[in-house]
Amino acid sequence: MSDLGEFVEELVADADAVFLFSSSRSRYEALSGDTEVVVVAPENDVDADAFVELPLEFRDFDERVRFGVEGAIENGYVDDESTVVCVADVFSENEDTVARIQAGQFDQSGVYDLFVNSRAEPAVIRDVLEVAVELGKKGQKGKPVGALFVVGDAGKVMNKSRPLSYNPFEKSHVHVGDPIVNVMLKEFSRLDGAFVISDGGKIVSAYRYLEPSAEGLDIPKGLGTRHMAAGGITRDTNAIAIVLSESDGLVRAFKAGELILELDPEEY
């Protein structure tokens, strides 16, 4: 047991910050001391000075850690050189997992900015992102497919686009995240045009041809018209856009005309 105690001491020694992934006041008070404690949770119930709001329940521990690290770096609580110890409840309702990491080991993915600083509800963004990732993994009947989802500020997006075909979601009240609806989205993705989704997740339209101005857009070389449209519509509205590229299979997110997230569905 003494060896185990020494190992735990080494694990937490010389850490620049402790990330507490819960709102346990007793745990927060026990950890508070010379080392800064960053609370990463849905609510700041412990009135922590260093707090990163967790807008949704990330399913995997590493996703929670990545989000917390990006949020802490953006808010200036730690930097890329910081060594942090993460304390979380992974297997039970109580804190049961401790991990030591370097904050800089995570490339800044843009996931914090995407979820926290967007107009659409975080759960809606997550659901759309998961549809795009699933399409990227499986394609359409085994073949690569491209897709464009525009999320939030749906009224303005509709005003800056036109229909390419009959809207199968007209007068419907279906929402992304419903398993049956997600199957429909995957099926319709093989046809041209963008999906328009409201802040709250209602699917407003499919088959929309986006007509934003492309002037002044700075889109990375090699990305095609679908990405240009995504960049343009997010610059001209308060929407975000999630694009699945048919050519390289990557999922990218745009906000305010800029590429802020790029991920490989096979590694997500």
Domains of the chain: 2-108 (3.40.1380.20), 113-267 (3.40.1700.10)
Q: How far apart are CA 111 and CA 82, in angstroms?
A: 20
pLDDT score, position 142: 65
User: 6 Cβ partners below 8 Å, 6+ apart?
Assistant: none
Least confident of 132-141, 157-166, 175-184, 205-214: 132-141
Q: Which pLDDT value is given to residue 137? A: 85
Q: Name the nearest CA neighbour of 103 among 9, 7, 19.
A: 19
pLDDT at residue 111, rounded to an integer: 80
Determine how β-strand 50-53 pairs with β-strand 36-41.
parallel
Which residue type is seen at 217? L
DSSP 8-state assignment for residue 266: G
The answer to whether 121 and 199 are in contact (CB under 8 A) is yes
Which of the two residues, 117 and 206, has the higher pLDDT score?
A: 206
Residue 24: pLDDT above 90? no
The pLDDT assigned to 243 comes to 95
Average pLDDT over residues 133-143: 76
Alpha carbon distance 214, 30 (integer Å): 54
Averaged pLDDT score across all residues of the chain: 87
Axis-axis angle for helices 122-138, 179-188 (nearest 10): 50
The percentage of residues in the chain with a pLDDT greater than 90, rounded to a whole number, is 40
In single-letter form, the type of residue at position 182 comes to: N
The residues that bridge with 263 in the sheet, in sequence order, are: 251
Q: What band does 210 get if pLDDT is binned at 50, 70 and 90?
A: very high
pLDDT score, position 78: 93
CB 206 within 8 A of CB 167: yes
**Is-contact 208 161, C-beta < 8 A?**
yes
pLDDT of 213 > 60? The answer is yes
User: Does residue 37 register a pLDDT over 70?
Assistant: yes
